[in-house]
Amino acid sequence: MNCRSLLLGLALVAVACGQAPRKQSNLPVYLDDAQPLEARVDDAFSKMTLDEKIAMVHAQSKFSSPGVPRLGIPEIWCTDGPHGIRAEVLWDEWDQAGWTNDSITAFPALSGLAATWDRELSRLYGKSIGEEARYRNKTVLLGPGVNIYRFPLNGRNFEYMGEDPYLAGEMVVPYIEGVQSNGVAVCVKHYALNNSEVNRHTANTIVDDRTLYEIYLPAFKAAVQKGHAWSIMAAYNLYNDEHLCSNEILLDKILRGEWGFDGVVISDWGGVHNTLQTAKHGVDLEYGSWTDGLTMGKTNAYDNYYLAKAYKDAILKGEIGTEELDARVKRLLRLVFRTSMDRNRPFGSQTSPEHYAAARKIGAESIVLLKNDGVLPMAANPGKILVVGENAVKMMTVGGGSSSLKAKLEVSPLDGIKARYPGAEVVWERGYVGDVGGEYNGVSTGQDLREGRDAATLIADAVKAAEGADYVIFIGGLNKADRQDSEGLDRVQYGLPYGQDAVIEALAGVTDKLVVVNISGNAVAMPWVEQVPAIVQDWYLGTQAGHSLADVLSGDVNPSGHLPFTIPVSYDKNPVQTEAQYPGILRGTTIDGMPVLDMEYTEGIYVGYRWYDLHGGVLFPFGHGLSYTTFEFGEPKIDRKSMKDNGTVTVTVPVKNTGSVAGAEVVQLYIADAESSVSRPAKELKGFAKVCLEPGQKADVSFTIDREALSFFDADNHAWVAEKGLFRAIVAASAQDVRGTVEFELK
C-alpha cells in the first residue's frame, strides 16, 4: 500500500467513526466536509473514469450499487421500508441471509399513520425508523409511499396515506425530515400514478393534466419541495406510452424541471426496460432487472443491466453523449455526501424502548372509532371477555410483499387484551379460518394456524362462548396474504373474506356487548353495521399492535384517529366502475416488447370524498372518527384584513371539550369555490389541526388560506389559477360533518 492510499484509508476510518480526519494536503478535497456540497461533488466527479461512472448507475447486488473504491466513495445500500427495516437477504437472492441481529421494530402501516392526522407523530415515526435504518448502516430507506387511494381494491393501499393529496402531502413531509435527520435518505414512492397492483408492469395510465397535477402529483411535490427528499422511486407502470423509469414528462420536465429536484431517481426493481430512452430521460440508478447475478457465470450478470454495458457501448458508438451520464453520477455523489460521507451522521439504534414506545403511541392514535353505542370504553373490571377471530392471534408483520418484516417482537391483539386485563377471564374462539400461512422470503412467523373444525362448528362454538361473556370482541378483517392487503395482486372482493360476515351476524344475535375490530389497510363492506353496537377500524400496527388496541378499548387512550379514506356502503358506489378504468383494455400493440393495457382515469379529479360528495353512497366518510368525549365547535371567524395585507385569509374557530375526559379532535378546513368557471369539487381539504383538550377546556384553532389553496390547474395554460369571486371556508369534523361555514371574496 502506498502512502497516499494509507492516508486515504485512515481518513475514511475516521469519517466512519464520526471523528474529524487530520488535514492532509494530498487528500481529495471531497473528504473535507467544510467544503460546500457542490464543490465536493464536482471534485470527486472530476477524478472518475467512464467505467467508474457506468458502475455507479446500476446495481451490484439485490440491494446495493457500487461506489468508487479507488476514490473512497462508498457503496449505496438500500433497504425496504416503509414500516420497518427489511431483514438482510442473500447477495443475489430474495431469501434470507441468515443474520441473527437483523430483527427490528415494526411500525404501523402508513395508512395508520395517515389516520393519526398528526404531523408531529409523523416526524416521530420518521425519526424512529430512520434511527433503525442508520443502525444497520443503510444509505436509502425505500419509502414512504404516497400514491393516492383511488379505489378500495388496490393491494398496496395499506402502504399509502389515503385518498386526499393534501393530507398525504402534509403527513409525508415530517416523515421525510425525521428519517433524513439520521443521515439516511428516503426514497418516496411510487412516482407516479401507481394506483393498483394488477398489470402494474404493463398498465398505461391515461389521465388528463388537470387530474395529474391536482390529485396524483401534489404529495410528491410536497415531498420534494417541502420535505427535500433525497431520492424518489420511479414506478413500474407507463404514462403517455412511456414506462415511468424512462418517462420524459414526469422525470425530466416535471420532477427535475418544474420542481427542481436535485436528488436521485431509483428504479423500482425490474422497472427499466430499455437503454437509450432511459439513458436520455430516465432513472439515475437501476435496480433489480430480473437477474440473479450469476447467470453469466464468470461474467457478472449485473453488467447486462440496461444502464450497464449496453449504456457504455452506446456512448462509445456515439449513439448517446455523456451529458446525461455525468448528471446522473453527480446526483449519486450528492446522495453519498448527504448520507454515508457525512461525518456528523448519528449512529442510530434498533429495537430500543423508545422505538417500542413510539410504535405503541402512533398505533393507538391511529385507531379510528367508527361507531359506539356506549359499549366502549370497556369497564375497569370487565369480567369475562370473549375474543373471536383469526386476526386476534395472527402475526401481521410477515407478508404483504416488500414491506414484510422480521420483527423482534409482535404483540397480538389477544395478548394485548390479556396484558391489560390480567384479572379478567379472557377466552379466544377462532370463529373463521383465513390464511394459515406465515412465511415470506424465508421469514416465518412460526405459527401453526391449521384448523380441524368446519365453518359451522367454528361459528357454533363462538356463539356458545358468547352467551356468558360480558364483552365479545370480534377481531377480523383482511391480512397480508395474496389478494388481500399485499403487493403484486389486488383484492378480488370488497366484502370481508373467509365468511366473516356470518360470524359477526351470529354473534350480534346473542350479545349487545359486541365490538367489531376490523384490521385492514383498506375499506371493507359492513352489511351488519346496524346490528353491531361498536366498530373499530384498526390497522397493521406492527410490534406493539396488541398494546395499542388494548389502550383504546380500555380507554387508557382516548381514540383520536380519523379515516384517511372514505368507506362506501358497497363497491358499486366507488368512482372506479368500468373495465376501461380498471383493470384496463388490452391494446393490440406492445411497448418495450410488452403487451400494454390502457387504464383510463375517466373519473378525473373526482376521487374519494370529491366523488362521494356528488354521488352519495357513504357508510363512513373521509375524516370521520369518534371519541370517548365530545367536542363543540363555535362559529368560525375570518380575518378579512389579512387578505389586503399579504394575500392570505385567516380562519379561526373555537373548539371546546364538552365531555368528561381529555381527548383530541381533528379540526378540518375545506374550501369551496362558489363561482368557478370550471368544474370543481363541492369542497377540498386545505387545512387540518389536531387539538388536545382537557374536559371543559377551550382553544382557538386557526388556518391560513393563501392563493394556492384557492387554485385549480389550468391545463390549457399549464398554470395554477385562483379566480376572483366568492369562496367558502368550511370547518368540519369529517367530510360530511360540517360544523360551520364562512364566506370570503377573492378580488
Count of alpha carbons within 13 angstroms of residue 594, beta-carbon side: 20
Highest mean pLDDT, choosing among 31-45, 277-291, 514-528? 514-528
Q: Phi and psi dihedrals of 332, rounded to 5?
A: -65, -40
* More confident call, 468 vs 666: 666
Distance CA 97, CA 304 (A): 24
Q: In this structure, what DSSP letter does residue 34 have?
A: T
- Of the listed ranges 96-105, 168-177, 526-535, 639-648, the one predicted with least confidence: 639-648
> Quick one: 711 exposed, middle or buried, by C-beta within 10 A (0-12, 13-18, 19+)?
middle
For residue 736, the model assigns a pLDDT of: 98
Contacts of 602 (CB under 8 A, 6+ apart): 578, 580, 581
Q: Is residue 651's pLDDT more than 60?
A: yes
Q: Phi and psi dihedrals of 608, rounded to 5?
A: 65, -140
Q: Is residue 588's pLDDT more than 90?
A: no
690-705: average pLDDT: 98
Across the chain, what does the average pLDDT equal? Answer: 93
Question: How do residues 354-413 score in pLDDT, each as one tens digit?
Answer: 999 999 999 999 999 999 999 999 999 999 999 999 999 999 999 999 999 999 999 999
Strands 637-639 and 649-657, sheet pairing? antiparallel
Neighbours of 651 (CB within 10 A): 24
For residue 643, the model assigns a pLDDT of: 64
Q: With bands split at pLDDT 50, 70 and 90, how would you rate the model's confidence at 153? A: very high
Query: Residue 309: in which H helix or E strand, if any?
Result: helix 309-316
Contacts of 501 (CB under 8 A, 6+ apart): 495, 527, 528
Question: How do residues 232-281 score in pLDDT, each as one tens digit?
Answer: 999 999 999 999 999 999 999 999 999 999 999 999 999 999 999 999 99
Q: In this structure, what DSSP letter does residue 612 have?
A: H
Structural contact between residues 494 and 570, judged by C-beta atoms closer than 8 angstroms: yes
Structural contact between residues 196 and 147, judged by C-beta atoms closer than 8 angstroms: no
692-717: average pLDDT: 97
Distance CA 330, CA 313 (A): 21
Q: Percentage helix, strand, coil, to 5, in the chain?
A: 30, 25, 45
For residue 240, the model assigns a pLDDT of: 96
Q: Tell me the CATH class for 367-556.
A: alpha beta
Q: With bands split at pLDDT 50, 70 and 90, how would you rate the model's confidence at 11? A: very low
635-649: average pLDDT: 80
Q: Is residue 3's pLDDT more than 90?
A: no
Helix segments in 339-480, DSSP class H: 353-366, 413-420, 455-466
155-162: average pLDDT: 98
Q: Is residue 21's pLDDT more than 50?
A: no
- Helices (H), strands (E): how many in the chain? 19, 31
Buried b / exposed e over 110-146, threshold 16 CB at 10 Å, is bbbbbbbbbbebbbbbbbbbbbbbbbbebbbbbbbbb
What is the percentage of the chain residues whose pLDDT exceeds 90? Answer: 89
Of 164, 268, 435, 673, which residue is the catalytic one?
Answer: 268
Q: Is residue 29's pLDDT more than 90?
A: no
Strands 231-234 and 185-191, sheet pairing? parallel
Give whole-number Cα distances, 578 to 163, 205, 584, 587, 603, in Å.
20, 14, 9, 16, 10
- Fold match between domain 33-338 and domain 367-556: no
What is the percentage of the chain residues whose pLDDT exceeds 70? Answer: 93
For residue 301, the model assigns a pLDDT of: 86
Q: In this structure, what DSSP letter does residue 520 have?
A: -
Q: Helix, strand, or coil here: 361?
A: helix
Q: Could you state, in order of their start, the residue ranges of all structural domains in the chain?
A: 1-28, 33-338, 367-556, 628-746
Q: With bands split at pLDDT 50, 70 and 90, how would you rate the model's confidence at 16? A: very low
136-154: average pLDDT: 98
Question: How do residues 541-568 score in pLDDT, each as one tens digit?
Answer: 999 999 999 999 999 999 999 999 999 9
Q: In this structure, what DSSP letter does residue 214 have?
A: I
Q: Is 268 a catalytic residue?
A: yes
Query: Could you tell me which CATH number the domain at 628-746 has?
Result: 2.60.40.10
For residue 57, the model assigns a pLDDT of: 98
What HEC string does 669-711 produce?
EEEEECCCCCCCCCCEEEEEEEEEECCCCEEEEEEEECHHHHC
Q: Is residue 524's pLDDT more than 60?
A: yes
Amino acid type, 132: E
Query: Residue 729: in which H helix or E strand, if any?
Result: strand 725-734
Q: With bands split at pLDDT 50, 70 and 90, how would you rate the model's confidence at 292? A: low
Neighbours of 417 (CB within 10 A): 26
Distance CA 227, CA 171 (A): 10
For residue 313, the model assigns a pLDDT of: 97
Structural contact between residues 14 and 21, judged by C-beta atoms closer than 8 angstroms: yes
For residue 94, the model assigns a pLDDT of: 87
Could you tell me the fold of the domain covering 33-338? TIM Barrel (3.20.20)
- Of the listed ranges 79-88, 573-582, 632-641, 663-672, the one predicted with least confidence: 632-641
What cell numbers appear for 371 in the block?
A: 361507531
For residue 9, the model assigns a pLDDT of: 38
Query: Residue 130: in which H helix or E strand, if any?
Result: helix 119-135
Q: Is residue 146's pLDDT more than 70?
A: yes
Q: Is residue 431's pLDDT more than 50?
A: yes
Structural contact between residues 543 and 408, judged by C-beta atoms closer than 8 angstroms: yes
